[in-house]
Amino acid sequence: MLNKALTDLLTKMADDELILGHRNSEWTGLGPVMEEDIAFSSMAQDKIGHAWALYNIMEEKQLIGQSADMFAFCRAEKDFKCSHLVELPNAGYDFSLMRHFLFDHAEAIRYESLQDSSFEPLQHLSKKVKGELKYHTLHANAWVMQLGKGGEESYDRMQTALNEIIGLAAGIFEPSKDYEDILIAEKVYPGEKELYTRWLESIYPVLVKSSLNLPDMAGLTPGYGGRQGKHTAYLAPLLKEMGEVFNLDVDANW
């Protein structure tokens, strides 16, 4: 039972990072200014790297019976557990930066909580990625604060992006019906409800400094479903694209 719960947790974490890493990597070469292009690309690489590390843990601990590559690039859509937030295609840079801000705070909070995890590989990984995530949130905070105060157009764009995706971002913390209790009891992690509270505490002060308004969270419907394998229409085509070359011949070396 614990193994199933661990697989569920690691899969959803890894799938989020894989899909968002892909979306963010699409900006490489197309960013608003070269310096930012480079920074954003590095963070996309980090995300894909974290996903790889998580799949590798599952492979090593025999939680999954296949290689990280096969698991990431040959799985059916319904077996993906990513949240809806990461599935959406890139719109403008306002959208991508706001998603980066909301997601990376959530990611940083989650890994921070895993520093005391009873599951040793996660504890180890969380310590390893701590510095990377520190940079990601530093970068995200700086941009959100600058753009929140960067004049009327910029402010409007950022507030609109926040309003549009905050509900989907809350969907990151969709609790898992079957596994939540055991993961908390076994001290693997503190559970989604607790992480959600910490996340709000983490993003709120930055939004205040940016003069952006956090919508009333109680009145929002969080974008749930992804953790149960129910996805937006955008995921299936992306998975097909990601696996296009690999699936020409899964037994070949690429």
CB contact set of 233 (below 8 Å; sequence gap of 6+): none
Instruction: Determine which residue in the list 139, 171, 206, 232 makes contact with other proteins, applying CB under 8 A.
Output: 139
Is 164 near other proteins (CB under 8 A)? Answer: no
Instruction: Determine which residue in the list 64, 82, 93, 99 makes contact with other proteins, applying CB under 8 A.
Output: 93
User: Within positions 209 to 248, which residues make up the interface with other proteins, using CB under 8 A?
Assistant: 238, 241-242, 244-246, 248
Is 13 near other proteins (CB under 8 A)? Answer: no
* Whole-angstrom distance, CA of residue 250 vs CA of residue 166: 38
**230, 245, 246: which is closest to 67 by C-alpha?**
246
Is 100 near other proteins (CB under 8 A)? Answer: no
Instruction: Determine which residue in the list 147, 169, 207, 212 makes contact with other proteins, applying CB under 8 A.
Output: 147
CB of 131 to other proteins, least distance (A): 11
Is 180 near other proteins (CB under 8 A)? Answer: no
* Whole-angstrom distance, CA of residue 241 vs CA of residue 235: 10
Q: Which residues bind other proteins (CB under 8 A)?
A: 22, 25-26, 28-39, 41-42, 44-45, 48-49, 52, 68-69, 72-73, 89-90, 92-93, 135, 138-139, 142, 146-147, 150-151, 153-154, 157, 238, 241-242, 244-246, 248-249, 252-254
